[in-house]
Structure 1
Amino acid sequence: MLTMQAVGATMAGAAAQILPVGTAMAVMALASLCISATLAAAIRRPITVPVHVG
């Protein structure tokens, strides 16, 4: 998890270097929402474990 926080901070810094600050903040906020929605969907998905009988 710490590695991904570092990756996110690096991406935010790179976006801020290239884009205007307001745009960089909006881009990172949108990315954060997309990642959160994806992870929430993955967490809600039930885990199925095959059961072998016999």
Structure 2
Amino acid sequence: MYEETGEWPKDFTEVTMIVLKKKAKATRCSDHRTISLIAHTAKIIAKILKRR
């Protein structure tokens, strides 16, 4: 836990990026979009920090 070691848990800092095609024959970067998947607990912490 953060309080004991002073470090964030690994699942709080890791993000999985998924690339999705916007167009059927996507060849350029602008033809794609990305979404990021983060751990549920990290999402809660991010919301708390954003409010402060």
TM-score (ref. length: structure 2): 0.28
Q: Taking CA–CA contacts closer than 8 Å with sequence separation of 6 or more, which of the two structures ends up with the larger relative contact order? A: 2
> Which structure features the higher share of strand residues?
2
Which protein shows a greater Rg? 1
> Which structure features the higher share of helix residues?
1
